[in-house]
Structure 1
Amino acid sequence: MSRTFVIEAVMLAIHGQLLVPGRPVTYVIPYSSIQELYELRIIDEPIMATPEDDGYVKQRIGELLTFFEESFNKKKIEKALAMPWRKSPPLPIHENVTFLIVNAVDNEQYGERFDPIETELIMTSIKEQAALLTDQLELLERIVEAELPVEAFDVEDFEYAVDGDFLV
Structure 2
Amino acid sequence: MSRRFVIEAVMIAIYGQLLLPKRPVEYRIPYTTVMELYDMKDSTDPVMPESDDDAHVKNKIGEMISYFEDPFNKKKLERALMAPWRESPPLPINENVTLVIVNAAESMQYGELFDPIETEVILMSLRLQCPILTDQIEFQDKVVQNAIPAQMFDIDDFEYAVEDGMLSSDEYTD
Same fold at TM > 0.5: yes
What is the aligned length? 168
- TM-score of the two chains, using structure 1 as the length reference: 0.98
Deviations 1:101-126 (A, max 9, x none): 00001111012210000000000011
SS of structure 2 residue aligned to 1:112: coil
State the Cα distance separating 1:46 from its structure 2 match: 1.3
State the Cα distance separating 1:149 from its structure 2 match: 1.4
How do 1:23-42 residues align onto structure 2 when only pairs under 5 Å count?
A: 23-42=23-42
SS of structure 2 residue aligned to 1:126: helix
- TM-score of the two chains, using structure 2 as the length reference: 0.95
SS of structure 2 residue aligned to 1:109: helix
Q: Structure 1 unaligned runs (5+)?
A: none
Matches of 2:5 and 2:152, distance apart in 1:
9
Question: How much is the aligned-residue C-alpha RMSD, in angstroms?
Answer: 0.8
Matches of 1:46 and 1:107, distance apart in 2:
29
Q: Structure 2 unaligned runs (5+)?
A: none
Which position in structure 2 is the counterpart of 1:104? 104
Which position in structure 2 is the counterpart of 1:64? 64
Matches of 1:35 and 1:104, distance apart in 2:
13
Matches of 2:46 and 2:123, distance apart in 1:
30
User: Once superposed, which parts of structure 1, at least 4 consecutive aligned residues long, lie more than 6 Å away?
Assistant: none
Matches of 1:2 and 1:111, distance apart in 2:
31
Matches of 1:153 and 1:137, distance apart in 2:
10
Matches of 2:8 and 2:151, distance apart in 1:
15
SS of structure 1 residue aligned to 2:104: coil
State the identity %. Answer: 55
Deviations 1:127-158 (A, max 9, x none): 11011000001111111111111100100000
Matches of 1:111 and 1:23, distance apart in 2:
35
Which position in structure 2 is the counterpart of 1:124? 124
SS of structure 1 residue aligned to 2:108: coil
Matches of 1:49 and 1:148, distance apart in 2:
31
